[in-house]
Amino acid sequence: MNIMFNLNTERPIFPFTAIVGQEEMKLALLLNVIDPKIGGVMIMGDRGTGKSTTIRALVDLLPEIQVVANDPFNSDPVDPDLMSNEVREKIDNNENLELSVQKIQMVDLPLGATEDRVCGTIDIEKALNEGIKAFEPGLLAKANRGILYVDEVNLLDDHLVDVLLDAAASGWNTVEREGISVTHPARFILVGSGNPEEGELRPQLLDRFGMHAQIGTVKEPKLRVQVVEQRIAFDSSPIEFVKNYENSQSQLIQNIIQARQLLPTVHLDYELRMKISNICSHLNVDGLRGDLVTNRASKALASFEGRTQVSYEDIERVISLCLRHRLRTDPLESMDTGTKVKETFYQIFH
């Protein structure tokens, strides 16, 4: 297994399998890698709880994909929904495509990024003078078929969040300027993280994230000591530390690849689907996103564990992640939304 280095720091990335605790966050991230159609994940938690470390550790686990070589959109050579217009034209003209293999990319969106940096820009002068659409791709183009990570997403400008969520939902990004329009595929897993003390996302925006993981500071003294020891060991000798986790990392990568292959064969019984929708209805969840995401997440979990049949336990493990952020909050109610989801789950299933 190749040790992955962060290009900015030239240091190895902390291994995903070395992260202690925070099982809910790790599960949500893995399920989204297995099935990107789950719709991404929002991770909210206190400072210093390992949000960024865990998300960046995910990079090392991302499987390889086939892309059209030298294409700025990481176009899929087979799926029309994942290829640029230029690649489609080449296929229509029976031109041979040069292909390459690369790891799924994770693109960081800086907090101060402008809309042009995110969406891309059109060089109007070049377009008018040369009669071509001179498009400079942005971060959404680079993130196509990959992961777009937004740290402190709750501090991001609302308009920019709208742009991200619209692209994530439709799988396409459109840039228009002076009557010139360019559209390109932008299907990515949107991962956001933030500190609730610094503000919450608007409910209608929060609902657009497939899953919502809440994490807190580890309370158990033994676990806290283990976390500190892991961090000290990594900082002292990062290359040696990463080598110690090569086998577990390789095994997890293989599990993800097998899960992605198995996913289309996973079956969710009609009775279980009815109960999922019954829970969503009972909790007054608006729309059908909650039903869809819970169905997808439970299937992804079953495939990750090598099964083709979704069980009651699969739904139990993912349902809070899928629904807690879709509930209408009552300031007079003391019960948190995750507990409310679980209580309703047990009422419906028993």
Is 289 one of the catalytic residues?
yes
- State which amino acid sits at residue 333: E
Which three-class secondary structure state does DSSP give residue 152? coil
Task: State the Cα–Cα distance between residues 54 and 17, nearest whole angstrom.
Answer: 10
Choosing from 289, 296, 324, 326, which is the catalytic residue?
Answer: 289
Pairing between β-strand 41-45 and β-strand 211-215 as defined by DSSP bridges: parallel
Q: What is the secondary structure of 81-145 as a DSSP string?
A: GGS-HHHHHHHHTTPPPPEEEEEPPEEE--TT--HHHHHEEE-HHHHHHHSS--EEE-HHHHTTT
User: And the tokens for 185?
Assistant: 């595929």
User: And the tokens for 102?
Assistant: 């690369």
Q: What one-character DSSP code corresponds to residue 78?
A: S
**Burial category of 25 from C-beta neighbours within 10 Å (exposed 0-12, middle 13-18, buried 19 and up):** buried
Other CB atoms closer than 10 Å to residue 178's CB: what's the count? 9
With the C-alpha atoms ordered 219, 222, 227, 229, is the resulting torsion angle positive or negative? positive
If phi > 0 it is left, if psi is from -120 to 50 it is alpha, else beta; for residue 165 that is alpha
CB 176 within 8 A of CB 183: no
Q: What one-character DSSP code corresponds to residue 267?
A: B
Active site residues: 289
